[in-house]
Amino acid sequence: MPYVEKLEMKGFKSYGSRKIVVPFSRGFTAIVGANGSGKSNIGDAILFVLGGLSAKAMRATRIGDLIFAGTKDEPPAKYAEVAMYFNNEDRGFPIDEDEVVIKRRVYPDGRSAYWLNGKRTSRSDILDVLSAAMISPDGYNLVLQGDITKFIKMSPTERRMIIDEISGIAEYDEKKKKAMEELKQAEENLARVDLLIREVKTQLDKLEKERNDALRYLDLKEKLEIAKTTLLVGEVRRLENLIATSQERDKEIESEIERINEELEKIAKTILEKEKTLSQVERELEEKSEDGILDVTKKISEVTSQIELAKKNIELARKEINESKRRLTKVKEELKTVSEEIEKGKSAIERWKKRREKLLGEIQKKEKERNELILKLAEIDKNFTIAKQELDKVEEDLENAKKEQYFKESEITKMTEEIERIKARNSQNSTRRLVLKNKIEELKEEINSKKSELSEIDSKIERAGARVRKIEKELEEVQRKLEKITPEIKKLNEELIKAEARKEISQNRTLEALKKANIPGIYGSLAELIKVRDDTYLTAVEVALGSHADNVVVKDDKVAEKAINFLKRNKLGRLTFLPLNKIRPRKLNGTSKGIPVMDVIEYDPQFRNAVSFAVGDTLIVNDMDEAREVGIGKVRMVTLEGELLERSGAIVGGYYRPRTKLAVNTDEIRMALEAREREKEQLESKINALKLEQRGLERELFELRMKKSDVSKDLQMLQKDMERFLNEDKGLKEEIEMGEQRLKELEERIHQTKGDLAKLSGRIERLEKMRNKLRKALDNPEARELNQKIREVEHEISGLREELSKIESRLENLDIRINDELIPRKANLEEEIEGLINRINAFKASIVQNEEDIKSLQERLKELQEKEQEVKDELKSLRDEREKLREEISQMREEKEKLRDVLQKLRLEANSIKIRMAQYEAQLKEKTSELKHHDVKVVKEIPEDLEKLREEIEQMEDEIRKLEPVNMKAIEDYEVVERRYLELKSKRERLEAEKESIVEFINEIESQKRNVFMQTLNAIAKNFSELFAKLSPGGEAKLVLENEEDPFSGGLDIEAKPAGKEVKRIEAMSGGEKALTALAFVFAIQHFKPAPFYLFDEIDAHLDDANVKRVADLIKEASKDSQFIVITLRDVMMSNADKIIGVSMRRGVSRVVSLSLEKAMQYLEKARAKNANALGL
């Protein structure tokens, strides 16, 4: 494998204008140095010389910035140049040299130049050479500073594509692409053949139908003849049979008629006898039922109803008697209680009257006593009453005054309290108002700002809306155009395929083969070179051209010779050539009628002679009439319908099948199609752009509307707040005013009330004095005693009077009860008793009478019933006899009628038989003569059902009529077309098989590709898991395909589980873990397929010493197969390297010192041994 021997830099980044050589060697080389000294610039130089294009990857803004910019002591470089020396002893590069040097130089304007082994070359050549040795400026083997995690960060698909590249499956993709193209070609061929098949099939179907019709027609004709003959024979036999049976029947009928006539006569006689007996019975019956029975029945019913009436009367009378008796007992009882009550009332009245007298006497006595006492009191003190009244009045006044005083005082207290309250409230309200005023100001400002925001949003919405509408209109228009264009494209496509198919048919194979020979100077057939201006003349021009259509126009006779030789050599057939240098034009004999063919066609003027040779002498006329006008034989003519009139007088005509050699122009259709498709593409891209804009605008509109509703809501809230504050302020103001008013009022009232109070105090004092005086005056003991007595007596009187009035009212009640109620009631009761007794007696008498009546009536009823039974029996026997006779007569009459009917029918039948027999005989005669025209031998069997046969004949005739006219030629034509169809079919099968084999091939490639990929992936995945376990002892990691079924439709995932941790998503790992995972991935690939060299820039930055040691060991081991260049700051890494390149910077210019650690160790070992010897150890 090739490896980097050294790197030469001149004017590159910090390395100054002098040439700097960085020596590398096989194995493990570390590049070390302080930060900023230029370590990583060596990595950049490698990237640069390998043809890297990204300035950013080389940590510069522009490629030109890679040129050394100069320092105080050194001028800037004119260009940057890096050369890389590869060892090519094993010919890893496809160049037969032991050393391959690639060099790249960049100028300040960014221009690059490349050299390969000293020769100027291009970047792509360099890249080709490098890629042959599996080196690329953006290969996975170059890991730049901070870039180690790129394998973690890249998408699973990008990661899978690394495996794709390593497995080299691109080769299969290339093969597949070619196969796909072949497949497309095969499918196109198939489509073409399908089209032909379709056309031939339509023709075949039509012919098939016609052929079948013709065959059917012949078949039917034959069958019809047989059927007709059979029918005739059958009918003759039938008629003969019919005549024989009719004669037999006629005889039968005659004998039957005779028999019936005899029977009829017998029946008529019997009927006559029976009718006589019947009239006798009827007369007797009439006599018996006239009197007798009716009279008796009437009487019986009369007697029965009389008995019923009497029974009902008796029952009624008994019920009445019982009722009256019950009533009588009740009335008697009541009379007794009423009499007793009257007695009791009368004695009570006596008692109460006595008591009343006694009470009146007592009352008089007491009144007298009271009057005496009053007189005595009046004498004792005349003034007492007056004084007493006055005292009462004074006391009442006093009490009122005191009450008023108390009331006023409490009123004052209340008012004072209210004043305090109002004052406190007012001061509170004033402070609240100050606060409100500030708030209102703030709100006003906020409302204004919201309003302006809202109007701004509105205008934005309007603008966006207008734009959306405009876009919609545009879209609609473009859509409409697109809709119009799509069917056009479809139509053109179909036309194109048809035209191509037609073109293929019309091609002359010899001509095509000749064209492929590419002989210069062959211009093509006349048919190809001529274009008819107007389709009306197409047929005419085609006929006029005739066999000249395939004539080949060539530059000169030499070309013609060459072409002829070619045809001869390849046995390709014969062609007529028209050399332009020799061919002579033909001219038209002057005539004024018709149109010269030359005038209706277009052609390149240089072919004029050739064209004229073919059709220059030919005239187009409308029809044969016009041709005759011009004169047949005078000039060559062709009619619009294709009749050709030669000058010789020969006329060629008939049905002309267009050869369509002229009209086929696929190029034009194809161009039109392409133009349409381009237009369609443009329209579609316009639609896409418009839709994109529309979506954007709609999103914007939606956001604006959301914002608007938010702002309006805010505004509404603010306005509501404002209103609330204003209302509150107004309320507060009113309250304060009202409070002040109230204060004034209260103070006034307090003042007034205090005046009133003072007045009241004086009045109370006065009244108290007066009361005391009056009390003294009223204090007299004798008067008090008298008063007491008078009150007692009056009390007694009123008690007595009360009792008196009670007694009087009781007396009155008793009186009313006796006189107005009890006495009249007693009289009524006595009267009722008398009435009831009379009633009972009357009913008893009625019962006796009725019972007697019933007895006599029942006797009479019995007599009558006996008489009735006798009459009834007699009548019944007569009626029975009558019925029997009537029935017998009617039966006989019916029988007679029946026999007459039968007779009638038989006579009719006899007549019709005779008529029919005559008909049958006539028919028989007719059919027999008809049968003479047919061949009776064809009749094999005569069917039972001749009607069915007749129907069949009718059907056949009907079908024959429907089939006509019949194309008998179709039978032969069908076979010809069918052969063509089968040929095409087999061609199609061949093409299909070809297509299938291509598909199979593609599948084969796919599966090979997949196998190769899976082998590569499995090997790398195995390496990866092993290496990860090595780098992170105890940890586990796997490469997992996103889609196992179809690896190429998904990416490649890394699943890692660092030691002692749960499974982590790789994004969630620490920097060190990520670096280890990525390194495992890089080494997994290296183990499978090592790249020539690896560049690692500070991959160990995030690792601890133990991990650095593991990585370093891995590099050391891997460096047996590949060259490793590792930029590092870690001593653990350095000490594992074979060579160390030290970088330091002096006065802004980087310098390089190299150290071979192997050599150093050997040297030191030797020195130590020497020292040991010197010391005598």
Interaction mask 1054-1093, another protein, x per CB under 8 A: ------------------x---------------------
The distance of closest approach from Cβ of residue 1105 to another protein in the complex, given in angstroms and rounded to an integer, is: 6
Tokens for 101, please give them.
């040097």
The distance of closest approach from Cβ of residue 1177 to another protein in the complex, given in angstroms and rounded to an integer, is: 16
551 is in an annotated binding site: no
Q: At what angle do helices 293-380 and 823-931 cross, to 10 degrees?
A: 140
Query: How far is residue 565's CA from residue 582's CA, in Å, rounded to a whole number?
Result: 19
Binding another protein by CB under 8 A: which of 19, 1153, 1170, 1172? 1153
The side-by-side arrangement of strands in the sheet containing 1139-1146 is 142-143, 1093-1097, 1123-1127, 28-33, 1139-1146, 1149-1156
Q: Which is nearer to another protein, 24 or 1024 (CB)?
A: 24
Contact status: 1143 vs another protein (CB under 8 A): yes
Query: How far is residue 765's CA from residue 798's CA, in Å, rounded to a whole number?
Result: 44
The distance of closest approach from Cβ of residue 1156 to another protein in the complex, given in angstroms and rounded to an integer, is: 5
Binding another protein by CB under 8 A: which of 177, 1159, 1170, 1172? 1159
Q: In the chain, count of helices (H) and strands (E)?
A: 22, 24
Binding to another protein, residues 125-164 (CB under 8 A): none
Q: Which is nearer to another protein, 1003 or 1171 (CB)?
A: 1171
Q: At what angle do helices 1071-1088 and 156-167 cross, to 10 degrees?
A: 20
35 is in an annotated binding site: yes
Of the listed pieces 393-401, 672-680, 947-955, 1161-1169, which binds another protein according to CB under 8 A? 1161-1169
Binding another protein by CB under 8 A: which of 907, 1164, 1170, 1172? 1164
Contact status: 1032 vs another protein (CB under 8 A): no
Contact status: 1142 vs another protein (CB under 8 A): yes
Contact status: 1151 vs another protein (CB under 8 A): yes
The distance of closest approach from Cβ of residue 49 to another protein in the complex, given in angstroms and rounded to an integer, is: 18
Binding residue count for another protein, defined by CB under 8 A:
40
What do you get for the CA distance between the two ends of the chain, in Å?
47
Burial class (CB in 10 A: 0-12, 13-18, 19+), 1044: exposed
Chain center to CA of 564 = 72
Binding to another protein, residues 780-839 (CB under 8 A): none
Contact status: 1167 vs another protein (CB under 8 A): yes
Q: Which is nearer to another protein, 857 or 1143 (CB)?
A: 1143
Of the listed pieces 394-402, 597-605, 840-848, 1133-1141, which binds another protein according to CB under 8 A? 1133-1141
Total number of residues shown for the chain? 1177
Contact status: 21 vs another protein (CB under 8 A): yes
Contact status: 170 vs another protein (CB under 8 A): no
78 is in an annotated binding site: no
Of the listed pieces 27-35, 279-287, 477-485, 507-515, which binds another protein according to CB under 8 A? 27-35
The distance of closest approach from Cβ of residue 28 to another protein in the complex, given in angstroms and rounded to an integer, is: 12
Contact status: 1154 vs another protein (CB under 8 A): yes
Q: Which is nearer to another protein, 349 or 1059 (CB)?
A: 1059
Contact status: 1134 vs another protein (CB under 8 A): yes
The distance of closest approach from Cβ of residue 102 to another protein in the complex, given in angstroms and rounded to an integer, is: 20
Contact status: 10 vs another protein (CB under 8 A): no
Which residues neighbour 1109 within 8 Å (Cβ) at sequence distance 6 or greater? 1132, 1136
Query: How far is residue 1120's CA from residue 27's CA, in Å, rounded to a whole number?
Result: 6
Contact status: 37 vs another protein (CB under 8 A): yes
Yes or no: say if 545 and 530 are a contact pair by the CB < 8 Å rule. yes
For the CA atoms of 1015, 1021, 1022, 1028, the dihedral, rounded to the nearest 10 degrees, stands at: 160
Supply the DSSP string of 1128-1158, one letter for each residue: ---HHHHTT-SEEEEEEEETTEEEEEEEEHH
Q: Which is nearer to another protein, 29 or 539 (CB)?
A: 29
Contact status: 514 vs another protein (CB under 8 A): no
Pure H helices in 507-599: 509-516, 526-529, 538-545, 557-569
The distance of closest approach from Cβ of residue 1066 to another protein in the complex, given in angstroms and rounded to an integer, is: 19
Binding to another protein, residues 725-744 (CB under 8 A): none
Tokens for 267, please give them.
């029946």
Contact status: 34 vs another protein (CB under 8 A): yes
Nearest to 42 by CA among 28, 62, 69, 23: 23
Binding another protein by CB under 8 A: which of 267, 1135, 1170, 1172? 1135
Tokens for 1037, please give them.
């990691």
39 is in an annotated binding site: yes
Q: Which is nearer to another protein, 995 or 1064 (CB)?
A: 1064
Binding another protein by CB under 8 A: which of 32, 83, 200, 1127? 32
Contact status: 1155 vs another protein (CB under 8 A): yes
36 is in an annotated binding site: yes
Sign of CA dihedral 88, 89, 94, 99: positive
The distance of closest approach from Cβ of residue 5 to another protein in the complex, given in angstroms and rounded to an integer, is: 10
Chain center to CA of 579 = 73
Task: Look at strands 618-621 and 595-596 and give their pairing.
Answer: antiparallel
Binding another protein by CB under 8 A: which of 252, 745, 1165, 1172? 1165
Query: How far is residue 1094's CA from residue 1081's CA, in Å, rounded to a whole number?
Result: 14
Query: How far is residue 771's CA from residue 400's CA, in Å, rounded to a whole number?
Result: 14
Query: How far is residue 409's CA from residue 406's CA, in Å, rounded to a whole number?
Result: 5
Query: How far is residue 790's CA from residue 374's CA, in Å, rounded to a whole number?
Result: 7
427 is in an annotated binding site: no
Task: Look at strands 636-639 and 618-621 and give their pairing.
Answer: parallel
Instruction: Write out the residues near another protein by the rule CB under 8 A.
Output: 6, 21, 23, 32-34, 36-37, 1072, 1103-1105, 1129, 1131-1132, 1134-1137, 1139-1140, 1142-1146, 1151, 1153-1157, 1159-1161, 1163-1165, 1167-1168
Annotated binding-site members for ATP: 34-41
